[in-house]
Structure 1
């Protein structure tokens, strides 16, 4: 159950939906789901250790969060500069 929950949250975040509120959508979540599916399938073909698979997925989730926060800061700075 928790694996599916983490996968669902990861798909939403990789798809570009902000965890801090804001815009998101079903098409972006589907893209995130496909990205994670292709990644998981590729790691299975390369026969990566299951622990490393979880670690790699976690790093990708962390990178998506960092990119999301950075993009949100850039957007807010651009809005403040326009005022």
Structure 2
């Protein structure tokens, strides 16, 4: 048994057309279809998802860019000694 998950769109005629490629030919199959409507995203949730995708793309592009030129922290100097607060 094999599970295949696909996303499809139902047009105005109310008909769902499924084209599912299978490896076996001239074989009978028992097919079970489960319909689960996809919740439409609001504009704000789409923008939030886009921001997350842009952030992940930025990280993917810049990850390791300073590997050959590591950042060095120079000595910070002496700090004044303050009296303890009681």
> TM over 0.5: same fold?
no
TM-score by length of 1: 0.30
TM-score scaled by structure 2?
0.29
Flag the structure with larger Rg.
2
Structure number with higher helix proportion:
1
